[in-house]
């Protein structure tokens, strides 16, 4: 079954952000995607998005764009919390991950509160 899904270069990268203090999606939060240039430590920005009312944004990597390598998602959390009148202990959150199979669909959610964050590899 997995083989039928694995059309070369068909992978995408998506995220969503949830405010766990309210249980609501985090809207209007800036997300940037960058790729590490081997051997590093230079990062090249590939995309910038704003989350919508559902805490989601268009895929950060469109089908055919994904390549094997090290990437990071940068979430502008301080700006988001300031907009809600909160201070944020974390000025931003960076999630670094490795793409080994460019044909995979990757979903990397972020759950945030002013004093914590959690991320995981979603589906």
Which is more confident, 13 or 4? 13
pLDDT digits (tens, 9 = 90+) for 37-96: 988 789 999 999 999 999 999 999 988 888 999 999 999 999 999 999 999 999 999 999
Sheet architecture: strand order including 110-113? 24-25, 17-19, 110-113, 116-119
pLDDT, residue 9, reads: 57
Residue 90 annotated as binding?
no
**Distances in whole angstroms, Cα of residue 23 to Cα of each of 18, 56, 106:** 7, 15, 23
pLDDT, residue 83, reads: 95
In the chain the domains, ranked by start, together with CATH numbers, are 23-119 (2.60.40.180)
Residue 74 annotated as binding?
no
Secondary structure element (H or E) that encloses residue 50, with its range: strand 42-50
Tell me the DSSP string of 51-93: --TTSB-S-SB-TTT--SEEEEEEE-HHHHHHHTT---S-S-E
Residue 107 annotated as binding?
no
């Amino acid at each position: 079954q997995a083989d039928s899904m694995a059309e070369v270069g068909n992978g995408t990268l998506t995220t969503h952000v949830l405010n766990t203090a309210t249980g609501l999606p985090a809207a209007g939060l800036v997300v940037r995607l960058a790729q590490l240039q081997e051997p590093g430590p230079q990062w090249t920005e590939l995309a910038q998005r704003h989350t919508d009312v559902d805490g989601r944004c268009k895929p950060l990597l469109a089908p055919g764009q994904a390549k094997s390598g090290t990437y990071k998602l940068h979430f502008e959390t301080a700006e988001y919390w300031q907009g809600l009148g909160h201070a944020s202990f974390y000025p931003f959150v960076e999630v670094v991950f490795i793409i080994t199979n460019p044909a995979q669909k990757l979903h990397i959610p972020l759950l945030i509160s002013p004093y914590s964050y959690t991320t995981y590899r979603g589906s």
